[in-house]
Amino acid sequence: AWDEGFQNNLSATELAALKDRLEQFNSLFVTAHKGDEFIFEFLADGTTRVVFNGKETGRITGEDFQ
C-alpha cells in the first residue's frame, strides 16, 4: 500500500531517488493482526519513529516520510 501511495504521488524520477529509503521504510513493518497497533511519531528533527505494539521497530529521516 505504501508503494502505491508513493507511485501515485511522485514522478518516476522522484520515485527512483527514494527507492533505497522506501525499502528502508518498508523494512520497519512487521505483519500485523487484528488488535495490533502501529504508531508513527513525527519528531522535530525530521525523523519518523515507527512503533509496533509499544516497541520501536525503527526510524527514518526525511520530510518525505512525515
pLDDT band at residue 1 under the 50/70/90 scheme: low
For residues 27 and 50, give the distance between their C-alpha atoms in angstroms, rounded to a whole number. 11
User: Average pLDDT, whole number, for the chain?
Assistant: 92
- Report DSSP state, residue 63: G
Locate the domains of the chain by residue range: 2-65
Which residue would you say has higher pLDDT here, 5 or 48? 48
Query: What does pTM read for this prediction?
Result: 0.80
Residues 53/31, Cβ–Cβ less than 8 Å: no
Residue pLDDT, tens place only, 9-26 = 999 999 999 999 999 999
